[in-house]
Amino acid sequence: MERYTGTSNVLPGLRPAREESLDELERLLTSRVLHGSETLKAFLRYVVLESINHQDGHLKEYTIAAEVFGRNSDYDPRNDSIVRVQAGRLRSKIQEYYATEGKHDKVLIDLPKGHYNAVFSYARAGNGEGPEVTETTRPVLVEPITTGHPALQMEPRPRARREWIPVAALGAVCVFLLFLALKYSSEASRLRDADKGKTQADAQMEVLNPLWGQFLKSDEPILVSYSNTRFQGRPETGMKLLKSLDSQSPTDVRSSYITDHYTGVGEVMGVFSLSNLFAKASHTFKVKRSLLLTWDDLKFTENIVVLGSPAENLFLRQLPQDQDFVFRVAKADSQEERFGIVNLRPKRGEESVYLNRDDAGSTSEVSEDYALISLLKGLETNHRLLILAGITTFGTQAAAEYVTNPEYVKELVTHLKAGPGGSGSIPPYFQVLIRVKINGGVPVHTDYVTYHPLN
């Protein structure tokens, strides 16, 4: 079969039967091309089922935005291009599928530009011809009783004996009834599976909503800022951090040496976890490294997520809101000064200083880290700043995974609602301390430690 190129490879005049179209939909949904693309799968499943069940209808962009992407009644396609963008991605994925693993499929599903209705057709065979047609199996277009739309059926050959007509008619009725039973049983199973998938996704977002609801409610893209520190020197001869912990600006230290910018592994993995969450919620976001973040960004951006501590993100040291937990240099039990988390207002049972631990006294492997999840007030009313920061980069990764994992968020919300005062509601601003077990540079287990509400 030649490569799929849209309508150029279709066989005109014949439309696949309903069951054939549903089977082809299943092949697309389980393909490698769409593996992990849950949003595109939901989009494809919706437009195909709607196109099959309502062939005379015309799918509207507004309807798709509400049914597939969860947009509210105030959705305006002029300001939100989510449907058009995802439709373009889906068309590319469909074309990629038929050019690779689906190149031998007999049925094609297409989403032509200009509208959102799916189109179904037979593919041409390798010689450019359609399926073989004989006198005994010559297809004719008829109107099925159930749908009122054309489907491929077989015209029986001429009978030589008149007495065969009643028997043949009875057999045809039985076959047709069996076909209907199997068809609608299969379709009902597919629809149940689709509804189950949507229910699971909705359930996950429902668990995440108490923490992320205000962020996702806004139409404005969420700004994700990741730590981006400056070093001097060369990788082959050694690199040195180009600032001290008490510096207030990345330009405090100037050097004629070559400088470079680096980001920790935890920050990279944190961006990955956040992007998965925003994709699941069909919410836009943008990424910016911290050295390029300005006070205008903080003032005019409604929702910001910062990955990394003030050790790398210098602007975090000048935020106006008071915090109970801060990153500072503190003395360990050995009286050695180390960078850690200081508890300015310890409660009963809490430590005043939290420091990471090395593996068996080694300074090369961190076995335990602490991290803060700080939801702070932005510089303007109703603006929010979420800081996910560990003492090390591994703690930052664990904090990002903690706030994007439904099981962890469920645990967190339980603690926040049962906090001081027992109001049963989540405080608008708070700091949460978590402890992270690390194995080989990978966070393997995270425990909730405590939290403080902030004024």
The CATH number of the domain where 382 resides is what?
Answer: 3.30.379.10
Q: Residue 243: inside a domain, yes or no?
A: no
pLDDT at 245: 53
Q: Strand, coil or helix: what is 254?
A: coil
Q: Which of 109, 132, 155 is the last residue of a domain?
A: 132
For residue 11, give the DSSP letter: E
pLDDT at 263: 84
pLDDT above 70 as % of the chain: 73
Whether 171 shows a pLDDT value over 70: the answer reads: no
Please state, in angstroms and rounded to a whole number, the distance separating the CA atoms of residues 370 and 383: 27
Regarding whether 214 and 106 lie in a shared domain, the answer is no
Q: How confident is the model at residue 317 (pLDDT cuts 50, 70, 90)?
A: confident
Q: Residue 238: inside a domain, yes or no?
A: no
pLDDT at 280: 83
Whether 399 shows a pLDDT value over 80: the answer reads: yes
Q: Residue 300: inside a domain, yes or no?
A: yes
Q: Residue 255: inside a domain, yes or no?
A: no
Q: How confident is the model at residue 151 (pLDDT cuts 50, 70, 90)?
A: very low
Please state, in angstroms and rounded to a whole number, the distance separating the CA atoms of residues 219 and 215: 9
Q: Which of 117, 132, 147 is the last residue of a domain?
A: 132
Cα 49 from chain centre: 23
Regarding whether 98 and 217 lie in a shared domain, the answer is no
Whether 97 shows a pLDDT value over 80: the answer reads: yes
Whether 387 shows a pLDDT value over 90: the answer reads: yes
- Mean pLDDT is lowest, of 1-5, 305-309, 347-351, for 1-5
Regarding whether 211 and 113 lie in a shared domain, the answer is no
Whether 444 shows a pLDDT value over 80: the answer reads: yes
Q: Name the strand (E) or helix (H) holding 91.
A: helix 82-99
CB 374 within 8 A of CB 316: no
198 φ, ψ (degrees, to nearest 5): -65, -40
List the one residue out of 98, 131, 117, 89 whose CA is nearest residue 24: 98
CB-based burial label for 130 (10 Å; 0-12, 13-18, 19+): middle
Regarding whether 421 and 298 lie in a shared domain, the answer is yes
Regarding whether 111 and 222 lie in a shared domain, the answer is no
Q: What is the mean pLDDT of the chain?
A: 78
Regarding whether 210 and 91 lie in a shared domain, the answer is no
- Mean pLDDT for 316-343 is 84
Whether 190 shows a pLDDT value over 70: the answer reads: no
Q: Residue 244: inside a domain, yes or no?
A: no
Q: Residue 257: inside a domain, yes or no?
A: no
Whether this model's pTM surpasses 0.75: no
Q: What angle do CA 300, 301, 302 make, to 5 degrees?
A: 115
Greater model confidence, 127 or 370: 370
Q: How confident is the model at residue 134 (pLDDT cuts 50, 70, 90)?
A: very low
Domain count of the fold of the chain: 2
Q: Tell me the per-residue pLDDT of 222-248, one tens digit each, with 9 for 90 and over.
A: 999 998 877 777 777 777 766 555 554
Count how many Cα atoms sit within 13 Å of the Cα of residue 41 in the half-sphere of its side chain: 21
Regarding whether 90 and 210 lie in a shared domain, the answer is no
Regarding whether 407 and 296 lie in a shared domain, the answer is yes
Regarding whether 270 and 395 lie in a shared domain, the answer is yes
Regarding whether 128 and 224 lie in a shared domain, the answer is no
Q: Which of 132, 152, 181 is the last residue of a domain?
A: 132
Please state, in angstroms and rounded to a whole number, the distance separating the CA atoms of residues 109 and 6: 9
- Mean pLDDT for 234-263 is 60
What range does the domain containing 397 cover?
205-228+263-453
pLDDT at 47: 92
Whether 143 shows a pLDDT value over 60: the answer reads: no
Greater model confidence, 234 or 253: 234
pLDDT at 325: 93
Regarding whether 215 and 119 lie in a shared domain, the answer is no
Q: Tell me the per-residue pLDDT of 21-73, one tens digit each, with 9 for 90 and over.
A: 999 999 999 999 998 888 899 999 999 998 888 877 788 898 998 888 888 88
Whether 326 shows a pLDDT value over 60: the answer reads: yes
Regarding whether 96 and 218 lie in a shared domain, the answer is no
Q: How confident is the model at residue 168 (pLDDT cuts 50, 70, 90)?
A: low
List the one residue out of 185, 238, 253, 449 whose CA is nearest residue 343: 449
Count how many Cα atoms sit within 13 Å of the Cα of residue 65 in the half-sphere of its side chain: 19
Q: Residue 95: inside a domain, yes or no?
A: yes
Question: Please, which residues have CB within 8 angstroms of residue 78's CB and are 6 or more apart in sequence?
Answer: none
Whether 277 shows a pLDDT value over 50: the answer reads: yes
Question: Please, which residues have CB within 8 angstroms of residue 192's CB and are 6 or more apart in sequence?
Answer: none
Q: Residue 154: inside a domain, yes or no?
A: no
pLDDT at 159: 40
Please give, one letter per residue, the 3-state secondary structure of 142-179.
ECCCCCCCCEEEECCCCCCCCCHHHHHHHHHHHHHHHH
Q: Tell me the per-residue pLDDT of 35-49, one tens digit each, with 9 for 90 and over.
A: 888 889 999 999 999
